[in-house]
Amino acid sequence: MNGMDQPPGTRGARGEIRDFLASRRAKITPAQAGLPTSARRRVPGLRREEVAVLAGVSTEWYTRLEKGHIGGVSEDVLDAVARALRLDDDERTYLFDLARSSRQESRTPPRRRDVEVPPRAQWLLDSITTSSAFVRNGRTDIVAGNALARALFAPMFGSATTDGRGRPNLARYIFLDPGASDFFVDWDAAAIATAALLRAEVGRDPRDRALRELVGELSTLSPEFRGRWAAHDVLMRHDGVKRLQHPDVGRLELTFQSLDLPLSGRAVHDLVVYTAEPGTASEDRLKLLASWAATRRAETPGPGGDGGSVSPCYRT
């Protein structure tokens, strides 16, 4: 098995469990855990036996767990370990996802297929005219969007990192396109969040071949990604404020919200909406982009010749 088949950080659920628990243990000091401290410590953070004491399990048992042997472990015990390691909600969910995936590793995984965005989802996106809205899958592919999304993220849609259908991938753009650090004003924060989103997706489905290939590509080509991937940070949802330096309208400060969008039983999709605070310069600039996007959409013939029903994310 070569590196592309099994890239760093995606060596199956057991390997993920081992690396994740070790990384969380290293982040907690004895003082933070209320344990006695001494000057002679050969490891950063807590020792395995200290985590075992805090979780109320034997050292031998916790050592097996940290080596990825999680079969038969109850949710109560996983909860105790999560509390001992002070995992936040996202990290706890990730640990439970890894445990579930580990129990299924002996089975042959069904090949995950890309989900076609149903017309009703595209109608929803197209009805949103004053905010940028797009659908993102767990691998951070932009699989559908409205006209303003394409206008707002024009540098990403026009990047050489898009796939053969012109479909952008947020992670690939952020880590492999040199222009991304100019477009995302807070590039470092975007990079940390994006790597953490991919890490969460690994927990949900560590056997997803396309995900493994993406992580392998980014690990090979981007030292910045390798460093953030090695941190084992986890993010299930990303909401907040984003500052963009748009090539046509200048600086934009936008709020963004991610909402679950169930399109299939296995794949994870989010509806992500970017909008501006009313009465701000960013609102004026976003409205200008929306006007331009609407004009371009009206001038572009759709399948029925009415000029607007093609999803901008699939138009090349």
CA pair distance 300, 292, nearest whole angstrom: 12
pLDDT tier, 301 (very low <50, low <70, confident <90, very high otherwise): low
Flag whether pLDDT at 297 surpasses 80: no
The per-residue pLDDT for 204 is: 85
Task: Centre a 10 Å sphere on the Cβ of residue 3 and count the other Cβ atoms it contains.
Answer: 10
The per-residue pLDDT for 200 is: 93
> Identical fold at 12-103 and 119-314?
no
CATH of domain 12-103: 1.10.260.40
Flag whether pLDDT at 286 surpasses 80: yes
pLDDT tier, 258 (very low <50, low <70, confident <90, very high otherwise): very high
| Answer CATH for 119-314 from 3.30.1600.10, 3.30.1330.100, 3.30.450.180, 1.10.1740.110 | 3.30.450.180
Nearest Cα to 154, choosing from 264, 36, 249?
249
Flag whether pLDDT at 206 surpasses 70: yes
- Residue pLDDT, tens place only, 70-127: 777 888 989 999 999 999 999 999 999 888 887 765 554 444 556 678 899 999 999 9
Instruction: Work out whether the CA dihedral 173, 175, 176, 181 comes out positive or negative.
Output: positive
The predicted model scores a pTM of: 0.84
The per-residue pLDDT for 78 is: 92
The per-residue pLDDT for 266 is: 62
Residue with the larger pLDDT of the pair 278 and 301 = 278
The per-residue pLDDT for 153 is: 98
The per-residue pLDDT for 182 is: 97
Flag whether pLDDT at 3 surpasses 60: no
Domain ranges of the chain: 12-103, 119-314
Task: Centre a 10 Å sphere on the Cβ of residue 86 and count the other Cβ atoms it contains.
Answer: 13
Q: What is the mean pLDDT of the chain?
A: 85
The per-residue pLDDT for 104 is: 66
Contact 78, 60 (CB under 8 A): no
The per-residue pLDDT for 263 is: 78
Flag whether pLDDT at 239 surpasses 60: yes
CA pair distance 153, 140, nearest whole angstrom: 14
Flag whether pLDDT at 39 surpasses 80: no
Contact 269, 115 (CB under 8 A): yes
Class of residue 223 by CB neighbours under 10 A (exposed 0-12, middle 13-18, buried 19+): exposed
pLDDT tier, 29 (very low <50, low <70, confident <90, very high otherwise): confident
- Residue 257 sits at φ, ψ, to 5 deg, of -130, 135
3-class secondary structure per residue, the chain: CCCCCCCCCCCHHHHHHHHHHHHHHHCCCHHHHCCCCCCCCCCCCCCHHHHHHHHCCCHHHHHHHHCCCCCCCCHHHHHHHHHHCCCCHHHHHHHHHHHHHHHCCCCCCCCCCCCCCCHHHHHHHHHCCCCEEEEEECCCEEEEECHHHHHHCHHHHCCCCCCCCCCCEHHHHHHHCCCHHHHECCHHHHHHHHHHHHHHHHHHCCCCHHHHHHHHHHHHHCHHHHHHHHCCCCCCCCCEEEEEEECCCEEEEEEEEEEECCCCCCCCEEEEEEECCCCCHHHHHHHHHHHHHHHHHHHCCCCCCCCCCCCHHHCC
Q: Which residue type, as a one-letter code, is found at position 199? A: R
